[in-house]
Amino acid sequence: MALRRVVVTGLGALTPIGNTAQEYWEGLKNGVSGAAPITRFDAAKFRTQFACEVKNFDVENYLDRKEARKMDPFTQYAMVVAEEAMNDSGLDLEKIDLNKAGVIWGSGIGGLKTFQDEVKSYTLNDFTPRFNPFFIPKMIADISAGYISIKYGFHGPNFVTVSACASATNAIIDAMNYIRLGHMDIAITGGSEAAVTEAGIGGFNAMKALSERNDSPETASRPFDKDRDGFVLGEGAAGLILEEYEHAKARGAKIYAELIGGGMSADAHHITAPHPEGLGATNVMVNALKDANITPDEVDYINVHGTSTPLGDISETLAIKKVFGDHAYDLNISSTKSMTGHLLGAAGAIEAAACIMALQNNVVPPTINHFTDDEGLDNKLNFTFNKAQEKELNVVLSNTFGFGGHNTSIIFRKLAE
């Protein structure tokens, strides 16, 4: 069967460097760092005392106070960006088939703060079982999609994907395929995460995954730099409205870009470390290119996973060289995690938004915080260090990889009539 075309008609973002999609884009192109000392709790006893938190955010400016109290922050973030994306799309709920509209969301962890706080309360109160009646629905990862569908009355497919840091990209791929196959005309998709908590920082510290550059948080996330020492934990969300092309065209929708392909693969190697030769990363980009029916030399820019970990940055660049050959030296590469930190299950959503806005503006956002070349990397590649670059962009690819060896890639293209 012929697959239907899928386009992006709405965007929303709530990030450590901007609380709307446009603010986020301004932060990206200007190379703003979202890292700063943690304000959510007293981090003095932790090895890492900084993160990329959402700033100047008051949930009561967006949601009814009583309703917001029933939600973990990751769900609050999801609701905020879904509303921005829906408003941006111009969709009229009275003029669409709600049975063909769905919500496919992504979150790697879900309600970590809720789980932490309820268990803490239980232990501090002499192990008396006085749990909040909303404990379970606040905690479970799927509740974000549930709340969004309830708000808009969407009766189509409704679920949350969980594949660690690949979660949001998995959600976007699933939403794309449901629309391609005719099961939906419209999807609210993306991802949210709120793991800047004692448990989040403590857990990743125990794994030695986080940077410990407490004396200079704003320069701590430094992908591809010789002195990178781990990732910086981030939080936030992004939402995309995906729509079947003819449906969007018929209503005169503003179209940001076409989503032309997605790939998935597994490293099948280690629970936290990437395959040393970039096997899974190679396969997933090959799969995405095949799905999009394009050749490697058509890609202009790759928004890499680029977490600022010693092993991950090496394996991803090896994979890029294998897949793209000589063209790897002609395309731009950048890691926007250098600015936003790593949003875990929401990373793929904010990075998809970054790719879409890069296409719109013909600007490649930079990889900031580059100070020293790493001799173990191919420094002839264009990592777009420290400053955004103007470039005619037609096709962009975004990579996200997760603990457990989960790999996802998606490809966007400027709309071709």
Active-site residues, by number, are: 165, 305, 342
Closest-CA residue to 401 (of 108, 158, 194): 108
Cα distance between residue 367 and residue 377, in whole Å: 15
In the DSSP assignment, the letter for residue 71 is: S
Task: Give the three-class secondary structure for 192.
Answer: strand
Give whole-number Cα distances, 409 to 21, 45, 232, 276, 332, in Å: 21, 38, 22, 19, 16
For residue 56, count other CB atoms closer than 10 A to its CB. Answer: 6
Q: How far is CA 315 from CA 164, 241, 282, 312, 322, in A?
A: 18, 32, 9, 5, 11
The total of other beta-carbon atoms located within 10 Å of residue 93's CB is: 11
Question: Around Cβ 39, how many Cβ atoms within 10 Å?
Answer: 12
Q: Whole-angstrom Cα distance, residue 353 to residue 20?
A: 11
Q: What long-range pairs does 385-388 form, CB within 8 A, spacing at least 24?
A: 385/224, 386/31, 387/31, 388/28, 388/29, 388/30, 388/31, 388/363, 388/364
Residue 315: count of CB within 10 angstroms of its CB:
24
Asked whether 258 and 412 are in contact (CB, 8 A), the reply is: yes
Q: Tell me how far apart the alpha carbons of residues 85 and 190 are, in angstroms, rounded to a whole number.
A: 10
For residues 327 and 373, the answer to whether their CB atoms sit within 8 Å is no
Give the Cα-Cα-Cα angle 268, 289, 360 (nearest 5 degrees).
120
DSSP state of 2: P
Contact 300, 392 (CB under 8 A): yes
CB within 8 Å of 403: residues ≥ 6 apart: 164, 165, 271, 272
